[in-house]
Structure 1
Amino acid sequence: MVETAPSPFTPGYGKKPAIFGGHGEDLSELRAVFETLDFGENHSVLVSGLRGVGKTSFLTTLQDAAREAGWLVISDDASAGLMSRVMDSTIPTLINEMTPETRARLTKLGIWNISADIEYVDRHRVVKPQLRTDLVALSSAMGADGGILITVDEVSAGKVRLRELSKFALQVSHALEDGAQIMVVFAGVKVSLDALLAEEHTTFLRRSRELEFERLSAPETRRVFVETAGIGGRAIDEEALDKLVSLAQGYPYLVQLAGDYAWRNNSIAPCITLVDATVAHDRAIRAIESRVISRVYGDLSDVDQKFLNAMAEDEDRSKVADIVNRMNVSDAYVQVYKKRLIDSGYVQPAGHGYVQFSLPYLGAYIRRQLAAEARDGGNEGGWGAYPAPDLPA
């Protein structure tokens, strides 16, 4: 059996990359808070960007750094039931993982019922528990030993979820007002975060530090490929590196995916070659279209799709006036969807009166889909000529 060298590339969901591309300065500043408890503007942070640009990996990196510094970490997503999960499951688990000395300090606060073995049993209060009270108590028990990092991923713009998130944010803001040492980080696409900021009780989030995750630059993409491969003890041929950089287009998930495919094609060779990069190219393109591009496009509204379809008629940037003509609607109507798609991160300005796709391969995917529909009559399989008969009365 031939031994293989494990790949240092990490394309799995939320996996921390060996080499983090971009936002290095931001990461360093936030890590410093874990050591110093000097928060500055960093009590609340909003991380925005499309799928696959590294938001979840960034949160994972922050969580690891906070734990290493002795902080408590509460991490969850914005799905229904967030408040109850945090209070009924996450916080009790954190209490049981504390040192006996810290749990003893909690016991004196009288908020939780802790057994003789200094283990969490249940709540001991006559009034309904509140998250703010829990957070303040945990922070008091930690003292100068650390703070609390709260990360909430996958913020969405659904009304029910936003109402729950705004209540969650209100509890965190009250805990901050009461002196709790907390850093809270919300992550999602920009339109969803903007919708959260428009909710009641989220005033303190409007003063958050904002980090917008976009594509990496070409030099930064090269650096991530080279240094990640180097961690695994391998080099990358120049031709192979050029092909991989061109393939990834600065999209962090694609960097990790393509690097992993190239690595695994011949993992015992000292160098990643052009052959490896070519294999990675074919596999990564198929994977990114099925796992990301098709889902992104499918999640959009009909009008959003029509806007992007109109853009896809151009190979490069699109003139907004041409989009107006192709959609056969007013300029004002197009401007509304243009702003929405820019805020969502799918489209970016490309000069006065022009836009272009910001998500790699989205335009090519749409062109291929439209061409396929044109060939087979709109994917209805020819059934338009054979309508189903009415059911008998």
Structure 2
Amino acid sequence: MRPESTEHTNSPFRPGYSRPPLIFGGHQDEIEEFTEVFQHYDFGENQSVLISGLRGAGKTSMLSRLQDIAETHGWLTIRDDASKGLMDRVVGSTIPTIVNSLSDSEQTRLKSLSILNVGIELEIADRSRTVAPSLRSDLVAISQATDNRGILILIDEVHSSKVRLRELSRFALEISHAMSTGANIMVAFAGVKVDLDQLMEQPHMTFLRRSREVDFRRLSIGETRRVLRETTQVGGRTLAPDAETHLVKISQGYPYLVQLAGDYAWRNNPTSDTISLVDAKVAQGKAKKAIESRVIKKVYDDLSEMDQEFLRAMAPDDGRTKISSIVSRMEKSDQYVQVYKQRLLDSGYVESTSHGYVEFSLPYLRDYVRSTMEPHPAESSGLSEWRAFPPPAP
């Protein structure tokens, strides 16, 4: 039997992947500028956009926000991730879906362009063609058939592996050629900065090198408070001032952690009208454990051995670390250390707080690195306990 429903049980916080937050934090100026593009087709510097930042910093949520705003203003949207087969998925599946969403008159115009043989009476567009399929020709044809309606292309999870970069650069080149015809196309790529930089280094990526860059870091304290407070209000509850302050301290402005800590605090006593300091303190341990296993461990494991050594050289200090101290601890030259400093700065895991100093920028990364440096017992106490109870002999 299902339990009786009570008020305020559904959490408005959304720590799950690809679930955009109900209250979006930060980057309001950029969102207003992009909205102007969708309303008036006044692109300015925003026809191509590169969205960079840490894992969990809000890049995917930003893409969702852009998609919602664009579709509200009548734009067509193409959204995918930069995994293998991107071009085939878009040309073979997404484009036909867009064609099927067009009006009868727009589909008739498409057919007259001899690009797509569209059967208006059919539910699925016939992909037989009089010319070879290409993303470029599809985008131009759709633009012409819809009186140059806006087309927003959103590509997430840009990765710098050679195979992906080759395909992604071909994909981007097709888009640039379609743009050159005057089609109202806006494209946004999202990923870690070092991967986006690798994409821009590919041949024929001149148009991407002129892109608007939006860098996602931590939210300000004020924005963190606003997101926590307003999200709680959306769910029909209030957030006690001391609980709010504690959740701000837990999350450190990291967008994913804001949602995660808020969700744990909400669920601790979901029938109460107010999230209390007790709820926030319960959320603290759960949120830290979750962020370490879901984000920080993966971030650290993905780094090269020398990147990890650089972070281990920073870990003994509670605040910022002198570069000269890192040089001494790594027993490497200053020039050698500077290479890895720049790599980690570009990745967003550390930041330069002042000349000659760096500091961890990803919350709890320092704690995790320290934990990897601590000696661990060869076996857990639980395993030793079970030695007294071996499996029975067959």
* Cα offset, 1:100, TM superposition: 2.1
Rounded Cα–Cα distance in structure 2 between residues aligned with 1:378 and 1:193: 42
Q: Deviations over 1:45-66 (max 9, x none)?
A: 0000010000001001111111
Q: Deviations over 1:69-105 (max 9, x none)?
A: 2111100111111111100011011111222232222
Aligned residue in 2 for 1:143: 147
* Cα offset, 1:378, TM superposition: 12
Rounded Cα–Cα distance in structure 2 between residues aligned with 1:277 and 1:204: 47
Aligned residue in 2 for 1:330: 333
Aligned counterpart for 2:228 among listed residues 225, 230, 247? 225
Tell whether 2:88 aligns with 1:87: no
Tell whether 2:107 aligns with 1:103: yes
Count of aligned pairs: 376
Is the 2:200–2:208 Cα contact (8 Å) retained in structure 1? yes
Is the 1:53–1:215 Cα contact (8 Å) retained in structure 2? yes
* Cα offset, 1:33, TM superposition: 1.4
Is the 2:314–2:326 Cα contact (8 Å) retained in structure 1? yes
Report the 3-state secondary structure (helix = DSSP H, G, I; strand = E; otherwise coil) of the residue aligned with 2:203: coil
**Once superposed, which parts of structure 1, at least 4 consecutive aligned residues long, lie more than 4 Å away?**
none
Is the 1:103–1:118 Cα contact (8 Å) retained in structure 2? no
Aligned residue in 2 for 1:383: none
TM-score (norm 1): 0.93
Is the 1:170–1:202 Cα contact (8 Å) retained in structure 2? yes
* Cα offset, 1:375, TM superposition: 4.0
Task: Output the amino acid matched with 1:302.
Answer: E
Rounded Cα–Cα distance in structure 2 between residues aligned with 1:307 and 1:89: 45
Tell whether 2:311 aligns with 1:308: yes
- After superposition, the CA RMSD in angstroms is 1.5
The gaps in structure 2 that reach 5 residues or longer are 381-394
Rounded Cα–Cα distance in structure 1 between residues aligned with 2:153 and 2:379: 47
- Distance change in 2, residues 1:378/1:42 (3 Å): farther
Is the 2:79–2:154 Cα contact (8 Å) retained in structure 1? yes
Tell whether 2:6 aligns with 1:3: yes
Aligned residue in 2 for 1:388: none
Rounded Cα–Cα distance in structure 1 between residues aligned with 2:59 and 2:208: 18
Aligned residue in 1 for 2:353: 350
Is the 1:77–1:155 Cα contact (8 Å) retained in structure 2? yes
Report the 3-state secondary structure (helix = DSSP H, G, I; strand = E; otherwise coil) of the residue aligned with 1:277: helix
Aligned residue in 2 for 1:261: 264
* Cα offset, 1:135, TM superposition: 0.4
Task: Output the amino acid matched with 1:76.
Answer: D
Aligned residue in 2 for 1:167: 170
Aligned residue in 2 for 1:249: 252
Task: Output the amino acid matched with 1:85.
Answer: R
Work out the percentage of aligned pairs sharing the same amino acid. Answer: 57
Aligned counterpart for 2:191 among listed residues 188, 191, 196? 188
Rounded Cα–Cα distance in structure 1 between residues aligned with 2:341 and 2:231: 37
Report the 3-state secondary structure (helix = DSSP H, G, I; strand = E; otherwise coil) of the residue aligned with 2:69: helix
Aligned residue in 2 for 1:67: 71
Is the 2:47–2:185 Cα contact (8 Å) retained in structure 1? yes
* Cα offset, 1:287, TM superposition: 0.5
Rounded Cα–Cα distance in structure 2 between residues aligned with 1:44 and 1:289: 34
Rounded Cα–Cα distance in structure 2 between residues aligned with 1:2 and 1:378: 45
Aligned counterpart for 2:296 among listed residues 293, 296, 303? 293
Is the 2:100–2:125 Cα contact (8 Å) retained in structure 1? no
Is 95-104 or 216-225 further displaced after alignment?
95-104
Is 59-68 or 2-11 further displaced after alignment?
2-11
* Cα offset, 1:238, TM superposition: 1.2
Is the 2:52–2:192 Cα contact (8 Å) retained in structure 1? yes
Report the 3-state secondary structure (helix = DSSP H, G, I; strand = E; otherwise coil) of the residue aligned with 1:166: helix
Rounded Cα–Cα distance in structure 1 between residues aligned with 2:151 and 2:15: 28
Q: Deviations over 1:296-319 (max 9, x none)?
A: 001101111011011111111111
Task: Output the amino acid matched with 2:107.
Answer: R
TM-score (norm 2): 0.92
- Distance change in 2, residues 1:193/1:287 (3 Å): same
Report the 3-state secondary structure (helix = DSSP H, G, I; strand = E; otherwise coil) of the residue aligned with 2:359: strand
* Cα offset, 1:352, TM superposition: 1.3
- Distance change in 2, residues 1:206/1:116 (3 Å): closer
Aligned counterpart for 2:34 among listed residues 30, 33, 36? 30
Aligned residue in 1 for 2:377: 376
Rounded Cα–Cα distance in structure 2 between residues aligned with 1:121 and 1:229: 45
Report the 3-state secondary structure (helix = DSSP H, G, I; strand = E; otherwise coil) of the residue aligned with 1:113: coil
Task: Output the amino acid matched with 1:138.
Answer: I
Aligned counterpart for 1:51 among listed residues 34, 52, 55? 55
Is the 2:322–2:356 Cα contact (8 Å) retained in structure 1? yes
* Cα offset, 1:199, TM superposition: 0.6
Is the 1:8–1:228 Cα contact (8 Å) retained in structure 2? yes
The gaps in structure 1 that reach 5 residues or longer are 380-393
* Cα offset, 1:127, TM superposition: 3.5
Is 246-255 or 2-11 further displaced after alignment?
2-11
Rounded Cα–Cα distance in structure 1 between residues aligned with 2:203 and 2:288: 42
Task: Output the amino acid matched with 1:226.
Answer: R
Aligned counterpart for 2:207 among listed residues 194, 204, 214? 204
* Cα offset, 1:125, TM superposition: 3.1
* Cα offset, 1:2, TM superposition: 4.4
Is 207-216 or 231-240 further displaced after alignment?
231-240
Rounded Cα–Cα distance in structure 2 between residues aligned with 1:132 and 1:179: 12
